[in-house]
Amino acid sequence: MIRSVITGCGSYLPAKAMSNAEFEERIDTSDEWIVQRTGIRQRHIAAEGETTADLAENAARAAMKSAGISAADLDLIVLATSTPNNTFPATAVEVQHRLGMDHGAAFDMQAVCSGFVFALTTADQFIRTGQAKRILVIGAETFSRILDWEDRTTCVLFGDGAGALVVEAADSEGNVEERGILTTHLRSDGSHKEKLYVDGGPSSTRTVGYLRMEGKEVFRHAVGMITDVITAAYEATGLSSDDIDWFVPHQANKRIIDGSAKKLGIAPEKVVTTVDMHGNTSAASIPLALDVAVKDGRIQKGDLVLLEAMGGGFTWGSILLRW
């Protein structure tokens, strides 16, 4: 059988880091409240004129460099974002052109905070069916552009950034000891739309809109949905929390991450947490966290890595892979 193996990883953060203290000057909030409720200490904010495509391009180049490949070696680009440069064309196509890739295809994937899990799952399907041999999967966001900076219940939570993986086809016997993506599980349920959405769009208001969220409601559903798709990953592979080397969750809120790890019986030292430094970067948060843990030497070739995300829609999903 064919398996999708991760061969490269990269990320990019805008230069400006914004501390919680900077919010204290603008709105009625405090560093103490933000840290206690979310675990966030700072987030990066794109410079004026710096776009999702810019962040994506930088992350893509870093991932390609780490894989030792050029754009000529790629068959496909899948870019997860909810903050594209334009309503159309897809930001992925713009990145494709910037990378000098004049063959193959590129498209965007929209599943909000679960976007990277949906994108990597899609790439895995293309590889397993033999339709592509090497794919660049990017998560890139400029959520700072869709925040209501007067709304203290949302604006303190999000940040900008991008991360990317290179995924390649490899022959496999199909056992869980071999490298590559072992199993993927996606879910969505549109009945939760009003709990987390952007109040604008081309077809509804002809505007871009701002992010709106019932934080308590999102929180209430998050841990259950996350454990649901992770349990599915364990059932599909016969593996358990004891086997996991690294848990790399979507970075929304430290309380959600800790609550999920606790419910699943994943030891705290196996959890990769970057929400303190990056805030919630939506579809970019998982590849950003992966890149941190690869660069600091935690994630090594052959390690069993568990990814999960949950976000607007609601959408949620898990991926279990051997790095």
Residue ranges binding ligand ACO (CB under 6 A): 29, 33-34, 37-38, 113, 152-153, 156-157, 196, 213, 215-216, 218-219, 222, 250, 252-253, 280, 310-311
Phi-psi region of 302 (alpha: psi -120 to 50; beta: other; left: phi over 0): left
Beta carbon nearer to ligand ACO, 98 or 152: 152
Residue 96 beta carbon to ligand ACO: minimum distance, rounded to whole angstroms: 27
C-alpha 29/C-alpha 48 separation (Å) is 25
Give the containing element (helix H, strand E) for 315.
Answer: strand 315-322
Beta carbon nearer to ligand ACO, 35 or 208: 35
Residue 75 beta carbon to ligand ACO: minimum distance, rounded to whole angstroms: 30
C-alpha 288/C-alpha 279 separation (Å) is 11
Residues ≥6 apart with Cβ < 8 Å to 269:
none
Residue 22 beta carbon to ligand ACO: minimum distance, rounded to whole angstroms: 13
Beta carbon nearer to ligand ACO, 85 or 260: 260
Active site residues: 113, 250, 280
Residue 82 beta carbon to ligand ACO: minimum distance, rounded to whole angstroms: 11
For the chain, the C-alpha Rg in angstroms (whole number) is 18
Beta carbon nearer to ligand ACO, 12 or 116: 116
Sign of CA dihedral 278, 284, 285, 288: negative
What is the rounded end-to-end Cα distance, in angstroms, of the chain?
18
Residue 166 beta carbon to ligand ACO: minimum distance, rounded to whole angstroms: 25
Residue 278 beta carbon to ligand ACO: minimum distance, rounded to whole angstroms: 12
β-bridge mates for residue 18, sequence order = 43
Beta carbon nearer to ligand ACO, 99 or 157: 157
Q: Which residue has 């890149």 as its token pair?
A: 291
Q: Which residue has 């990017």 as its token pair?
A: 138
C-alpha 3/C-alpha 11 separation (Å) is 24
C-alpha 304/C-alpha 247 separation (Å) is 9
C-alpha 145/C-alpha 159 separation (Å) is 10
Beta carbon nearer to ligand ACO, 252 or 277: 252
Q: Which residue has 């898990």 as its token pair?
A: 318
